[in-house]
Amino acid sequence: MSEVPEVRIGTAEREQAMQRLSDHFAAGRLSVAEFDERSAVVAAALTRGDLEPVFADLPPDQVSLAKTPAKQKSGFLDDWPERVMAAIPIIAVILFFATGSWLWFLAIPLCGALLIGKRRSEDND
């Protein structure tokens, strides 16, 4: 931290430090006991200098170069699979009463797997 260490911090800075600490814990750099100890220090911190020892032996935060920028949703039809999926149960009920066959209800998980599953696999690429 390049700022003056004697400057008092507030709730926002403590929450940001806790988020950074949680990220390091999620990355496997801290054990549960270390995370608990450091969390207590962050919660009790009054100045920026109190936070420096918590992160002294951890690598600095870096933006992952492997991540691609999030896709921008620009229009009404960008989320069409979710909109279709919301209508499928209603259509299945109508077709059930019209035909008397319960097999229409199988369309709900089938469409979910096809529409939403395909959408998630595209988002992960």
66 in any annotated domain: no
Does a structural domain hold residue 67? no
Residue 63 included in any domain: no
Higher pLDDT, 121 or 61: 61
Q: Which residues contact 78 (CB under 8 A, 6 or more apart)?
A: none
Q: For residue 68, is it within any domain?
A: no
User: Tens of pLDDT along 95-118?
Assistant: 999 999 989 889 888 888 888 776
Q: Is 93 among the domain residues? A: yes
Please count the structural domains in the chain.
Answer: 2
pLDDT tens across 20-47, in order? 988 888 888 888 888 889 989 999 999 8
Query: CB atoms < 10 A from the CB of 107, how many?
Result: 15
In a domain? residue 5: no
Provide the pLDDT for residue 98.
94
CB 54 within 8 A of CB 34: no
Q: Which domain holds residue 100?
A: 76-124
Which residue has tokens 């020892």? 53
Question: Considering the domain boundaries, does residue 103 fall inside one?
Answer: yes
Same domain, 82 and 115: yes
Q: Per-residue pLDDT for 120 more than 70?
A: no
* Cα-Cα-Cα-Cα dihedral sign, residues 41, 42, 45, 47: positive
